[in-house]
Structure formats: structure tokens, C-alpha cells
């Protein structure tokens, strides 16, 4: 059967090459009993393709059932699929047939297969390989002849890598992969689908026809449609029921799709909180950078003072203490993207005028020394902070902060 005939038979709208290829693959694989894994985003029409494969197969006169694996609780999915014996578990008051027994000779469509528990995956693998299964609470091996078509909207191979899906089952199901393109990859089909849906709903609700102006049509095509065909259909129904004006403008259309849709091909709302978080992070990096720079300036200042005089002999006589001081106040070398390399002064003890064992009673407070030096610099330059800062080798802002911290 030709692709166009299949579209007419199953009510498929669209001329996208990706859509046509998917229909062609479904048509080719339908006469066989090969397992098929249908992948595609939610709302893209995966179940429609399962019906195509079943109706165009030799099993078309047999039963067909669609099972949403994600909607069945983990504790009961084995019973739903394979059945159970009376008394198999609490509440099992009688024997129950599972889907693989009731659909014998037909086709079972397992939607959201990636949500299936690992234990159930092992039982399903045995059915696919040998057609055998065991009911819950029984020891008797049952036989079934069922074709399995599976579908998922997640990356199954990634689930295999994360240990959430059996690799052997993945390759067993993925004999023929069938990918359904999302609506954003079928831009030429969007307006066609919209016209079909609005015509159906205006006829259903007996309302006047709906038309889009040129800007609204462009917005409709450029929107990314995260909910795919299902979302487009829902929006068409809302417009058919709610809007009194039957000429839909872009401004009206904005009430039914996210605000960013008119500005980008991939509209996505940016949370204001995210903007605030980014701003706060940038501010934090800036503060840390400023603190790092101030610390470097202070360390240079202290080193110059110790090497060139104006401090207690106890520091000059104890270079180990000075080097330890630098190690104690060291900060991380990376803040954001900034790289810092700090040269630590090492004061030699050779030929020094003092001995390591010399007792010194003078205060070793770095804060006091810092205060004295700042006072001297301010006094020397008659209170002019800019000149005093240059004399001390620090920025004027750092000097101002030190004056406030030390209550000078």
C-alpha cells in the first residue's frame, strides 16, 4: 500500500519527509512478526503507528490491546501482563488471565516500556524469545503467540547505561527502530493539522469556522510544540470553544501559547528566579576577586615593611614566623575565571643581625603594626588618603576600608 493511501486510511495529516519515512517503515515491517520499538516524544502519535502495524499485518483479525506500563503499579504489573493463580497474593480471590493470554494470536502494544520494572523486563524477554511465561503463583509454563510493539518517549539506550533497562531486552525489542518525528521537525505540517482540528471542532460544537491572520500563522509554525500533536489539538479545541472573534490574531494566539513563542523558534520561559541566581553568583565572584586582590596587596605591604624596616625586630629575626604567616592567610588561587600567582617572600636567616633564640617581648600583633603604618602614612601626607594609599602600596578603596575597620 502506498504512503498516501495509508494516510487516508488512518487519518494521518502531513507531508513531512520524516513522517513519510516513518509510515514507509511501518508499512514494510507490518507483514512480519518482528518486534518494533517506536520512539518519539509524548503526543507525537506513537500509538497511531502501532495500529498501522497491526492493521496491515496478518494478525489484523486478531485482538489488539494497548497497555501503558507507566500507569500500572509495580506490584501488580506481572499479574496484569501474565495473569495469576487464586491465592497468589493477598486479594487474589480468583484466577485471572493476563494480557498475553487474552491477546493470544494478536498484537500487544506496550507503551512507556522504559517504565517497566526490571523483574518484569526479564519475564517479558522470555516471552519474546520463546513465547513462554508463568502466571504469578503458578509453576506451570504457558505458551502464547503475541506480537509485541513497544514505545517510549525517553532515551532507552541511556536507561540501559544507567542500569534502569535490560540491555538484552533493548536489543530484542529494537529489531526495527521506528522514530516518530516531533512536530517542531514537521513545520510544513503544523498549519495543515491546525486547519483539520479546527474544522473538526467547529463542526462538532456547531460554531463558525476559525481563521488565522498571517502573523498568527507564522507564530503557530515557529512555536516548538513541546506537547506535539496532542498540544496542537487541545489548543485548536480551546479556540473553537472560547473565542468569539473567528479571525484569530497573533495577540489572541499568545493567550494560548507561552509568551516567548513569538520571539523564538524554541520558546521557553526564563524563570525570574534563575536570572536573580545568575546575578547573585556574578556578584559573589566579584566580591571574592576583590577580597583576593586586597589580600595580595596587604601581603605585599607587610613583606615590604618587614624587609625595609619600620617593624619590630622580632619579625625580622624570625623568618619562619613570617613565612608561616603567609601560609596561614593564603586564599584559594582560583576565583571564577581569575588566576592568581602569589610570590611569598622568603627572608633569609644567614648573616642576620638577630639570633633565632633571642627573646623578644614586643607585641607581634599584625593589626597593631598595620594601624601604626596607616597612621604614619596619613600623618606624612596630611590626611590625603590617595597619597597615603600610594605610599602604602594599596588601593585607596582598601585604605578607606582599613580606616573604618581599625577606627582610625
Evaluate if residue 119 carries a pLDDT over 70: yes
Domain boundaries, the chain: 3-181, 185-262, 273-405
Q: What is the CATH number of domain 185-262?
A: 1.10.8.60
Q: Is 178's pLDDT higher than 80? A: yes
Domain 3-181 shares a fold with domain 185-262: no
- What's the pLDDT tens digit per position in 303-320? 777 766 555 454 445 555
Number of Cβ within 10 Å of residue 41's Cβ equals 21
CB of 394 closer than 8 Å to CB of 297: yes
Encode pLDDT of 6-37 as tens digits.
999 999 999 999 999 999 999 999 999 999 99
- Give the pLDDT band (50/70/90) at residue 395: confident
Quick one: fold of 3-181?
A: Rossmann fold (3.40.50)
**Where does 187-254 have alpha helices with state H?**
187-205, 214-222, 228-242, 250-253
Cα(116)–Cα(135) distance, integer angstroms? 17
For every residue of 344-356, DSSP letters joined together read PP----TT-SS-T
Phi-psi domain of 359 (left: phi exceeds 0; alpha: psi -120 through 50; beta: other): beta
The pLDDT tens digits for 282-298 are 666 666 767 777 777 77
Cell output for 86: 487464586
The grid coordinates of residue 304 equal: 615590604
The answer to whether the CB of 10 falls within 8 A of the CB of 48 is yes
Instruction: Compute the Cα dihedral for 254, 255, 259, 261 and give only its sign.
Output: negative
Least confident of 61-75, 199-213, 251-265: 251-265
Distance CA 13, CA 10 (A): 9
Q: What is the pLDDT of residue 89?
A: 76
| Neighbouring-strand partners of residue 111 | 68
Amino acid at each position: 500500500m502506498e504512503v498516501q493511501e495509508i494516510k487516508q486510511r488512518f487519518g494521518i495529516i502531513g507531508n513531512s519527509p520524516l513522517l513519510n519515512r516513518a509510515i514507509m517503515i511501518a508499512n514494510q515491517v507490518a507483514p512480519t512478526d518482528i518486534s518494533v520499538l517506536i520512539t518519539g516524544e509524548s503526543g507525537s502519535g506513537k500509538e497511531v503507528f502501532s495500529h498501522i502495524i497491526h492493521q496491515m499485518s496478518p494478525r489484523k483479525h486478531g485482538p489488539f490491546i494497548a497497555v501503558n506500563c507507566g500507569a500500572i503499579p509495580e506490584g501488580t504489573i506481572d499479574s496484569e501482563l501474565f495473569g495469576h493463580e487464586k491465592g497468589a497474593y493477598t486479594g487474589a480471590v480468583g484466577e485471572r488471565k493476563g494480557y498475553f493470554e487474552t491477546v493470544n494470536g494478536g498484537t500487544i502494544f506496550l507503551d512507556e516500556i522504559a517504565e517497566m520494572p526490571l523483574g518484569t523486563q526479564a519475564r517479558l524477554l522470555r516471552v519474546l524469545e520463546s513465547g513462554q511465561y508463568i502466571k504469578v503463583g503458578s509453576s506451570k509454563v504457558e505458551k502464547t503467540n503475541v506480537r509485541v510493539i513497544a514505545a517510549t518517549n525517553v532515551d532507552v539506550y541511556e536507561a540501559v547505561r544507567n542500569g534502569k533497562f535490560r540491555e538484552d531486552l533493548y536489543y530484542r525489542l529494537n529489531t526495527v527502530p521506528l522514530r516518530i518525528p516531533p512536530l517542531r521537525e514537521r513545520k510544513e505540517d503544523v498549519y495543515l493539522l491546525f486547519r483539520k482540528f479546527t474544522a473538526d471542532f467547529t463542526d462538532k460544537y456547531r460554531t463558525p469556522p476559525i481563521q488565522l491572520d498571517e502573523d498568527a500563522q507564522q507564530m503557530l509554525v515557529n512555536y516548538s510544540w513541546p506537547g506535539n500533536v496532542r498540544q496542537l489539538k487541545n489548543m485548536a479545541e480551546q479556540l473553537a470553544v472560547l473565542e468569539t472573534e473567528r479571525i484569530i490574531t497573533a495577540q489572541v494566539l499568545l493567550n494560548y501559547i507561552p509568551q516567548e513563542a513569538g520571539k523564538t523558534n524554541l520558546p521557553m520561559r526564563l524563570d525570574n528566579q534563575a536570572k536573580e541566581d545568575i546575578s547573585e553568583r556574578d556578584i559573589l565572584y566579584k566580591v571574592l576577586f576583590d577580597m583576593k586582590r586586597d589580600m595580595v596587596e596587604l601581603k605585599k605591604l607587610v613583606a615590604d615593611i618587614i624587609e625595609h624596616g619600620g617593624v619590630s625586630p622580632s619579625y625580622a629575626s624570625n623568618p619562619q614566623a613570617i613565612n608561616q604567616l603567609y601560609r596561614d592567610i593564603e586564599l584559594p588561587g582560583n576565583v571564577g575565571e581569575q588566576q592568581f600567582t602569589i610570590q611569598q617572600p622568603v627572608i633569609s636567616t644567614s648573616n642576620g643581625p638577630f639570633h633565632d633564640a633571642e627573646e623578644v617581648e614586643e607585641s607581634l600583633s599584625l593589626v597593631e603594626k598595620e594601624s601604626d603604618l596607616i597612621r604614619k602614612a596619613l600623618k606624612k601626607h596630611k590626611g590625603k588618603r590617595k597619597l597615603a594609599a600610594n605610599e602604602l602600596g594599596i588601593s585607596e578603596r582598601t585604605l578607606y576600608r582599613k580606616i573604618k575597620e581599625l577606627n582610625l
